[in-house]
Chain A
Amino acid sequence: MSKKFRVLVVGLVILTMLLSACATPTAEVVEKVVTQVVKETVIVEGTPQIVEKEVTKLVEVVVTPTPEPAAPQEGPIIITWWSHWANEPAKRTVVEKIKADYMTEHPDVIINLSWWDKNPLREALRATMTAGEGAPDIASDWCRLEEVEAGWCLDLTDALPWENFIPGTELDNNFEALGIPGRWKLNLGASVNMLFYNPDIFEELGIEVPDDFQFTQAEFLDVVKKCSEAGYAGSAASIGNRPYPGVWVVQYPLFNLVGPEQFDLYNSGQQSWDTPEARAALEYSAALRDAGYHPDTFATMTIDEFHVYFHTQRQACFLTIPSWYAGRAFKAVEEGGQDPNWHFGMLRYPLMDGSAAPDTIWVGYESGYHVTSATKYPDVAKDILRFAAQPKYGALWTAVTNIPSAIKYDPETDWPSDELLAELGYPAGVWDWYWVEFNKVYGGLPTGQAPSPLCGDFNDAVISALNEGLPQGLITVDEAVEMLDANLCK
């Protein structure tokens, strides 16, 4: 290496260290030393369990300053709204209707609504919020823990009519357990994790559906073996371009086995996986794998492709999928949708031996909407979301997208008219069979929900171990447990 080059490199490093050690750009930060009760996680001796204890400690708390209100502009109020679901026309229709209705009632407000794919939307949001310029007033797929901690989201606790939402909605995007109060998200859609089956294959193989729509774990395993021996995949779900479909084969049994409260701890990385229950779920998923549960193209089939694999190519007996299936499948066949005249069936989760929640259904929420702290019109932005939280839009959401709504509505009074649905391009009646089946199988069942992993290390371990490794036989159950426990959220 030439002398000049060495000198240049050393000079660069010294310059950077000097810059680092000197004044750093700071914002207004108020540091307080307060006495606070904090939760500490400890390993209880003699067991693999991580237990939370409350201890009194002096902690330094960095208080995030409240965003300063910006100077409002003259003339009509212009609200910028960035939304996910660029390629889901049904959801777009509902949100566009909300926007149009709001603008009709508020002529002084102009809403610029633009449609994105999820990842580019998140990247653009992060860039604009970091820069402090160009960020929208309303955005979707935002306000996860790190964004709330960054002061990038406005609290909607007092802005939305929470009584309009189904029970449990307030738990979504809720970080109170971590000491961060507030509610940050408007949910239009609820998500029910379902299990579909192909009735044609069942008939071909002589498989009968139980009267209570629920196989035991042994029966379910037998069905999968029968499907595999006949040349079908057990389930269509694959991981080509998503980090989670492979995890469902563990999550469904575990949820059924331990119930929603315990599942919450496992799923969020707060609970060791070296327990009999977790191992039972992992072992069962491995048995399903060995029985032929996953398709041969598991590693490469994308989310769009595995929908088609199930409803059009019909090469799988089952499909585990949340109710956003309708967003991808209930559209024109030439756009990748399914034939509306093909009626698949639904089942409850396999009943695990010793199940603590035999009938409980795992629910969650779709992408929702947030108000960013960059908005110049927080009151108007919040009012738009409040407007969207009306029961009639909950009913419209379900009528158009065929996905359950997080907003309560009265089917008698709030359901959109046939004329409106026809005008929007979603004539009534096409998918009624789907709701008949849904209510038959899942109607009236208790529900429970669980948050996502709370830290990046555990999320990555879940992807590696449960989405990629275990379903493909690349690691053993012991190795999966070791990988998960090594990355628990602290």
Chain B
Amino acid sequence: MVTKVGTKGKTVAAPRKPWRKPWGAIALFIGPVMIAYAIFTVYPLLASIYYSFHKIQPIGPGKILYTFVGLENFKALLNDYRFTDFAVPNTLIWGAFGPVIEMITATTLALIVYFKVPFHRFYRTAWFLPQLVSGVIIGLVFRWIFNVDWGLLNVTLRAVGLDSLALNWLGRTDTPLWVVIFVHYWATFGYSFILLLAGLTTIPEELIEAAYIDGATRLQAIRRVLLPLLRPTFVTVLILSFMGKMRAFNVVWVLTGGGPIHRSETVATYVQKRAFNWTSLDLGYPSAMAVVWFGVVMISVGLITRWLRGQAEY
């Protein structure tokens, strides 16, 4: 308590100054990040929305003609079979199955490491390693693995007498999508695993011990104590996984290019093709595609969040 001498010599309690946030320090620390965020995230988003309502025609170095076309680009999307029949359904399938497989795997592996099984330190590193490898490298390596003649997968299948399963994985219409889903899952499950493991380690050990004291088995402790307390982290990781699947690009691009015949096409790869490989410099149409997909993803994230809403208290 601050005191000061009053005018009549009496000591009185000085009024407490209202606490003010140190805006200077806040700006100093957060400012650069926010500026970068505004430049590399917010601005491109707003620019894409703007472009989506225009036809864009370069007319010289550094000169671009923007012609407002209203909803024409969006209407054209409805008649684009590559978008409606391949890119969207493929990506939605991926968005539905991919996170499920990944979350089941990541949760299981996180629990394994959490309970400190033998060699748990090795597993923690090994299972995170794929996350450190570039998606391009992963795509190239798996293209060799899935080679129909000498790829590791088919050679192994033939060696164990499963010749009938040694398929042309990247040259059919029914398998390429599942191949890219699997490869992308392999490349990214380590991220979900490490986040879930971090979430598990924040749960007080006393709660687990109390459950054991009360006679719970390990499985019951996982089901009744750990998983409910892990829920907030689980929801966050699930949403991140879902968003990652909905915009997956580099593995698909290298592994199949979206083919054959668009059977592994995703919205991201199709946007790339329309923007840069379509004998046109107009970015309006691919921007419309990107804007629509942004809306789909945001709505989906909202629905997932609402569905899984739940609070853990301990």
Contacts and interface: CB of A to CB of B under 8 A. Distances in A.
B53 interface: yes
B149 to A, nearest CB: 5
A246 B196 CA distance: 46
Centre residue among A9, A29, A372, A468 by max chain B CB count within 10 A: A468
Given A468-B260, A474-B172, A299 B281 contact: no
A1 B259 contact: no
Indicate the size class of the contact surface on chain A. 35 or more
Interface in A119-137: 123, 126, 129-133, 135
Q: Please report whether the interface of chain B is mostly helix, strand, loop or mixed according to DSSP.
A: loop
A300 B61 contact: no
Given A24-B54, A454-B279, A296 B148 contact: yes
A27 B65 contact: yes
A95 interface: no
Contacts of A296: 148-149, 168
B78 interface: no
A378 interface: no
B59 A472 contact: no
A455 interface: yes
Given A13-B49, A26-B65, A150-B57, A126 B281 contact: yes
A464 interface: yes
B82 interface: yes
A16 B54 CA distance: 12
B143 interface: yes
Nearest to B172: A474
Contacts of B172: 472, 474
A405 to B, nearest CB: 28
Given A1-B306, A464-B262, A468-B260, A16 B281 contact: no
Interface residues of B, number: 48
Contact of B66 (A25, A67, A150): A25
Contact of A129 (B61, B151, B278): B61
Nearest to A19: B50
Contact of B148 (A12, A297, A469): A297
Contact of A147 (B54, B262, B281): B281
A468 B148 contact: no
A145 to B, nearest CB: 6
Interface string B55-68: 00111111111111
A454 B280 CA distance: 10
Interface of B: 46, 49-50, 53-54, 57-68, 82, 143-144, 146-151, 168, 170-173, 257, 259-262, 273-274, 276-281, 298-299, 302, 306
14 contacts: A16-B53, A17-B53, A19-B50, A26-B66, A129-B58, A150-B281, A151-B58, A151-B61, A374-B61, A455-B279, A459-B278, A469-B261, A472-B260, A474-B172
Interface of A: 1, 5, 9, 12-13, 15-17, 19-21, 24-27, 29, 62, 64-65, 67, 123, 126, 129-133, 135, 144-147, 149-152, 240, 243, 295-300, 372-374, 453-457, 459-460, 463-465, 468-469, 472, 474-475
Rank and list the top 9 A-B pairs by shortest CB-CB distance, nearest first: A132-B62, A299-B171, A456-B278, A468-B260, A27-B63, A150-B58, A16-B49, A374-B61, A24-B66
